[in-house]
Amino acid sequence: MKSGVSIGFWAFGLACVVSAVSLPLWRALCRRWDHVDDPGHRKIHVQSIPLAGGFAVSTGGLLGGLMLWILKSSGVLGSVEIGSLWGGTEALRRLGVLVAGAVGMLALGAWDDRRDLGAGAKFLGQGIIAVLVARWGVQVPVPDGMAIFGQVLTVFWIVAVTNAFNLSDNMNGLSAGLGLMGATAVSVSSFLWRGASDLACGAALIAGSLAGYLPYNYPRASVFLGDAGSQWVGYVLSILALLSLPPARTSDGGLQQSWRLAFGVVAVPLIDMAFVVVSRTWRGQPFWVGDTQHLSHRLARTGLGKAGAVAVLWVLGALLTVLLSR
């Protein structure tokens, strides 16, 4: 266990350093490519901000993971086994599908940042990725004979969580901070209660990549996640939550408890999404059209300010994760 935790710290640290070091390069490239968020309607910034965050956090997760594998293979990190979740041809294919899904969400979001895709095209792209993941990646655990039901639930879960984090990216640090807390919760719970060092290391890579990005975005932002980054964060958190679920069992409460943890790590974005969807529908406004009625906006208007509102939602996210995982 001690050596497994040590590898978790290595995973977090490597991803954090790669994300933080690569971000200035991505920021410069985004400025050169004019891949920026310009001031305008409902925008609070007064100058163009590079949409480099998504590229940096994905680089941290992927390159950090590759570096971790190289160090592990070379024997630098000891002999603890961290690949049991992905051992064998079938499991490696599953890992490839999940990574391809992450890259696909990043690319779809970058395209949306660049071309401002309509809601229909955006949902279609997310749905295709989610279907591929549900078919060949990971599924919501269901009893035998209900595989189709599990695939439908998986698609709904991935699309819902992805969009929840996308919608929560409305103030500096909010989406990334909530993602950092969620990934950390999955990593810690996997180490302490499941002994799943492979999943714990994967979650630590995600947490580290977001930790490396946050100082550039909170409380003041020199870069934004963009749709590319917020969709990537939502997708990887939806996958981490699903991977934290054990196989379906009817003889004990293990699945129920794991579902509480899975919901806990994404609770605040999902609650906020449900709130704004109901609110916009009640006012006769399309739910996919943005406004300033998110929980973060309402908290900021109470006098907390934007940084204070984000901090309150971070604390709420941490409390919900702890309470629901008990």
Q: pLDDT tens digits for 122-162?
A: 999 999 999 999 999 898 887 777 778 889 999 999 999 99
Domain count across the chain: 1
Q: Which amino acid, one-letter code, is at 159?
A: V
Q: What pLDDT is stored for residue 250 in this prediction?
A: 44
Q: What pLDDT is stored for residue 8 in this prediction?
A: 85
pLDDT at 83 over 60: no
- pLDDT tens sequence across 178-214: 999 999 999 988 887 666 778 889 999 999 999 999 9
Position with higher pLDDT, 108 vs 254: 108
Q: What pLDDT is stored for residue 37 in this prediction?
A: 85
Q: Determine the straight-line distance between the first and last CA of the chain, rounded to whole angstroms.
A: 21
> Coil, helix or strand for 242?
helix
Q: What pLDDT is stored for residue 40 in this prediction?
A: 59
Q: What pLDDT is stored for residue 45 in this prediction?
A: 55
- pLDDT tens sequence across 122-133: 999 999 999 999
Burial class, 100, CB count within 10 angstroms (exposed 0-12 / middle 13-18 / buried 19+):
middle
Question: Does residue 270 contact residue 258 with C-beta atoms inside 8 Å?
Answer: no
pTM for the whole structure: 0.91
Bridge partners (DSSP) of residue 262 are none
Confidence of residue 289 (pLDDT cuts 50, 70, 90): confident
pLDDT at 224 over 50: yes
Q: What pLDDT is stored for residue 116 in this prediction?
A: 86
Q: What pLDDT is stored for residue 161 in this prediction?
A: 96
Residue 185 sits in which domain range? Answer: 2-324
Confidence of residue 251 (pLDDT cuts 50, 70, 90): very low
Task: Show the CA angle centred on residue 163, arms to residues 288 and 120, nearest 5°.
Answer: 50
Q: What pLDDT is stored for residue 234 in this prediction?
A: 97
> Coil, helix or strand for 183?
helix
Q: What pLDDT is stored for residue 141 in this prediction?
A: 82
Question: Does residue 67 contact residue 18 with C-beta atoms inside 8 Å?
Answer: yes
Q: What pLDDT is stored for residue 84 in this prediction?
A: 52
